[in-house]
Chain A
């Protein structure tokens, strides 16, 4: 067992444990914070696997943006403080389906990759490193990348206009 194996196992246990807490806790806010732990542990696993760019993107987008969005949604709707009793339905079917799917997939992977070991690439030229991914992104995929950013900008502007009915109305209001 190498250091990487130990780290992976440990982070994996943290991710699974935090994931369990997310679905079992009755506090909405705590569920969000457990999600941070879970996703952070995943980012750590990406780091161990030398996929540094993916790891930082995970931290930025999921740990940062998505969880903050979730907490904002909680704050803006009804801000439940303390446990919400109506959060949990009877757990049996969920437990059955969840455990079945999880154990089935785990068994599948254990069976599929039994003792196959993959040596981790090291150095700055690994397939998951920021340099290689950046090179791909800005050489072969630069056109889709730019088109996508224009599209996102358009969506952003559109969202502002849709969510603010006073934007178009103000001119008309001034005329009256």
Chain B
């Protein structure tokens, strides 16, 4: 029984963005080992930025490619490339925030996440100049996300899921200030994330039992032809989608989000909010549109209820928050619901509107967290709402940027948020899902209140003694803020090009 060894055909150009990302991540590990400490940060930041920009360039060069490669485990098609592009653009902005050192002396990160809080070693590392381990971790996570979007079988998808999650868990525990809630965030995220991965894996097993393959296209084909009991398929679909919805922080699976968003270092929160959301929705779109499209009439009502629940829970709980990071966490939950509305408008318009929403939301949330990292007192960042009263009088420029971002998140016209909400809701109306649109509009009205309250507090209150100070943004944070604000306004004023791009890209290759 000798079999000839056959190399799988690999289209290296099609997976070049992934190769660049993973290559830079591995190089980053070597840099940690061999480059002397004072030079490390500059080398790491430069290398990471160049790597992500190169990967972005590779994605742009690949535009229009439609190919399944690497032994049938990676699909490079329109949605994959569009979302990888969005992911990498967010990655650049997030890396700028991660690399910032002027705001917090020594940077926002420590080297070892697991040291007992309050111990001598922990206090020593909290005062030592910044650690750079976060860069390779972020790159591995980014590579995992890019693979997650493009995976064309469930096992590759699972590996990508772990690859993107494990560095994220670690990065959550790296905050220099407030070490305890940072570690708490990491442990909570890890435990619940492991649980969700278990769900996903169980779903993969059941899907294999039904279709005899973990390939998404094969599962699609098996829906009609398999002799097995369809109950297996429904259970597989439910478990897989549960695992993915956990990563998107949709309603019954959202409980981790507020604690993790609050505890994680702010640049990492920004990274999670923008990039993880793109990756998780990319995978969700691919699973539901490629593998389970023929069951759309079965999963539509169920995920529809989840979408409504997500929007309402996120919006209502956001109203009660007094901490800005928690407020943005609930807002991210509500926004997951809005993207789900786009996903549920099954078809090209639905996919393209969901993808556009992810782009608009990602830039807005990156800008918001960039501002949050600037508002501080002696203890570090001050995220309590009352400390922000009157900030607009003190530093009008940055407060102005924050106002624009908040208005975009609230969906005020002439910002990206409005265009995105309009695209998602009109896509849902087009396929006759009116009930989703009603719930969506109601919850956008509810969630506009907390956003506008922040704006009103910043501008209309008098600054008092308890008002925090705004640190002048360094070059890196300043650039990140600029990109965020420009993108938010740009997507609102001239959304045409990106909308067209999303529409052209929104055809999944099966």
Please, how many angstroms separate the alpha-carbon atoms of A163 and B235 in the complex? 43
Chain A interface helix/strand/loop/mixed: helix
Chain B interface helix/strand/loop/mixed: loop
> Chain B nearest CB: distance from A5 CB in Å?
20
**Is A112 a contact partner of B231 (Cβ separation < 8 A)?**
yes
Find B3's partner among A112, A113, A114, A139 (CB 8 Å cutoff): A139
Please, how many angstroms separate the alpha-carbon atoms of A114 and B229 in the complex? 9
Q: How big is the A interface, by class? A: under 10
Which residues of A sit under 8 angstroms from B231, Cβ to Cβ? 108, 111-112
User: Whose C-beta in chain A lies nearest to the C-beta of B206?
Assistant: A108
> Chain B nearest CB: distance from A100 CB in Å?
14
Most chain B C-beta atoms within 10 Å of own C-beta, residue among A108, A111, A113, A140: A108
Which residues of A sit under 8 angstroms from B235, Cβ to Cβ? 105, 108
> Chain B nearest CB: distance from A125 CB in Å?
8
Please, how many angstroms separate the alpha-carbon atoms of A108 and B209 in the complex? 12
**Is A140 a contact partner of B228 (Cβ separation < 8 A)?**
no
- What number of B residues sit within 8 Å (CB to CB) of A? 9
- Say yes or no: is A64 at the interface (Cβ < 8 Å to chain B): no
Which residues of A sit under 8 angstroms from B229, Cβ to Cβ? 111-114
**Is A140 a contact partner of B232 (Cβ separation < 8 A)?**
no
Which residues of B sit under 8 angstroms from A98, Cβ to Cβ? none
**Is A112 a contact partner of B5 (Cβ separation < 8 A)?**
no
- Say yes or no: is A135 at the interface (Cβ < 8 Å to chain B): yes
- Say yes or no: is B397 at the interface (Cβ < 8 Å to chain A): no
Please, how many angstroms separate the alpha-carbon atoms of A112 and B1 in the complex? 35
Find A140's partner among B1, B5, B209 (CB 8 Å cutoff): B5
Which residues of A sit under 8 angstroms from B3, Cβ to Cβ? 139-140
> Interface 1/0s, chain A 116-137, versus B by CB < 8 A?
0000000000000000000100
> Chain B nearest CB: distance from A46 CB in Å?
15
> Interface 1/0s, chain A 130-152, versus B by CB < 8 A?
00000100011000000000000
Please, how many angstroms separate the alpha-carbon atoms of A112 and B211 in the complex? 13
User: Whose C-beta in chain B lies nearest to the C-beta of A162?
Assistant: B112
> Chain A nearest CB: distance from B140 CB in Å?
13
**Is B5 a contact partner of A108 (Cβ separation < 8 A)?**
no
Q: List 7 A-B contacts (CB under 8 A).
A: A108-B231, A111-B229, A112-B232, A113-B229, A114-B229, A135-B1, A140-B5
Extra contacts besides A108-B232, A114-B229 (16): CB < 8 Å: A105-B235, A108-B231, A108-B235, A111-B229, A111-B231, A112-B209, A112-B228, A112-B229, A112-B231, A112-B232, A113-B229, A135-B1, A139-B3, A139-B5, A140-B3, A140-B5
Give the top 3 A-B pairs by smallest Cβ distance, nearest first: A112-B229, A112-B232, A108-B235
